[in-house]
Amino acid sequence: MTHTIRTIAIDGPAGAGKSTVAQALAQKLGFLYFDTGVMYRAVALAALRRGISLQNEPALAALANDIFIEVLPPTVADGRQYTVLLDGEDVTWALRQPEVDASVSVVSAYAPVRQAMVAQQRRIAQRGNVVMVGRDIGTVVMPDADVKIYLDASVEARALRRYRELRLRNVEVTYEEVLASMRARDELDRTRAVTPLRPADDAFIVDNTDMDAEDTLDYILNLIERVNQAHLAA
């Protein structure tokens, strides 16, 4: 079957299942799965290594423009979802260090850092055959993506999913705490000055409150097939 779809953007709030669904979708299509959050993690890692203060916005902006980040399909069979190179060094697992976890939200909030990363994300998107995930992909990074999906669910459903994930990792937390945190994160995402979270005007809005990951994947695959057929008929 001939496919005309080469770029897929998936946006949505925390806990909507974007990463799980996007990874499965990319595998199904033979595309690169690209979670744009890894780029901000790479900036945070580089800043920590160079001793740059997270409060020094000009230095972080200069750093973001100086480093070269590459995202590739997995190059090592060690369970990774992709390979991330920072100036040629494989940092895929280093990006998951607790120090990076604690730093990435600060780094990603700076507008000049986001601008630098968007340029790098677009460079990768131009290669095509990519499923890109984030919070501003359809609106900012790939406004001309072949398919744009805004994956959503009720805040209660999303909090329950996140709570279950945390409990499986033996994290001591209550559902009420996760729900309050999720609501606060939603508010920040929707009201931030730089690229607030919102669906692109031409995005398919997929509410998976009552769907599991497999049902969501099937629904999106059907959407893509319909778009593909429309492209072929045009």
Segments making up each domain of the chain, as ranges: 1-31+129-225, 36-127
Residues near 223 by beta carbon (within 8 Å), at least 6 away in sequence? 147, 149, 204, 206
Is 1-31+129-225's fold the same as 36-127's? yes
CA-closest candidate to residue 33, choices 14, 9, 53, 49: 9
What pLDDT is stored for residue 204 in this prediction? 96
What's the confidence (pLDDT) of residue 191?
82
Coil vs helix vs strand at 7: strand
CATH architecture of 36-127: 3-Layer(aba) Sandwich (3.40)
CB 7 within 8 A of CB 128: yes
Indicate the CATH number of 1-31+129-225 among 3.40.50.410, 3.40.50.300, 3.20.20.370, 3.40.250.10.
3.40.50.300
Could you tell me the maximum CA-CA distance found in the chain, to the nearest angstrom?
A: 55
What's residue 34's pLDDT?
Answer: 93
Tokens of 58: 């000009």
Cβ–Cβ under 8 Å, residues 134 and 39: no
Residue pLDDT tens, the chain, 234 long: 456 899 999 999 988 999 899 999 999 999 999 999 899 999 999 999 999 999 999 999 999 999 999 999 999 999 888 999 999 999 999 998 889 988 888 898 899 999 999 999 999 999 999 999 988 899 999 999 999 999 999 999 999 998 998 898 888 889 999 999 889 888 878 887 777 889 999 999 999 999 999 999 999 999 999 998 888 887
pLDDT at 126: 92
> What pLDDT is attached to residue 1?
44
pTM of the full structure: 0.88
pLDDT tens digits for range 105-151: 889 889 999 999 999 999 999 999 999 998 889 999 999 999 999 99
204-207: strand order across its sheet = 32-35, 130-134, 7-11, 147-152, 204-207
Burial of 136 (0-12, 13-18, 19+ CB in 10 A): buried
pLDDT of residue 3: 61
Contact 107, 40 (CB under 8 A): yes
Which pLDDT value is given to residue 144?
94
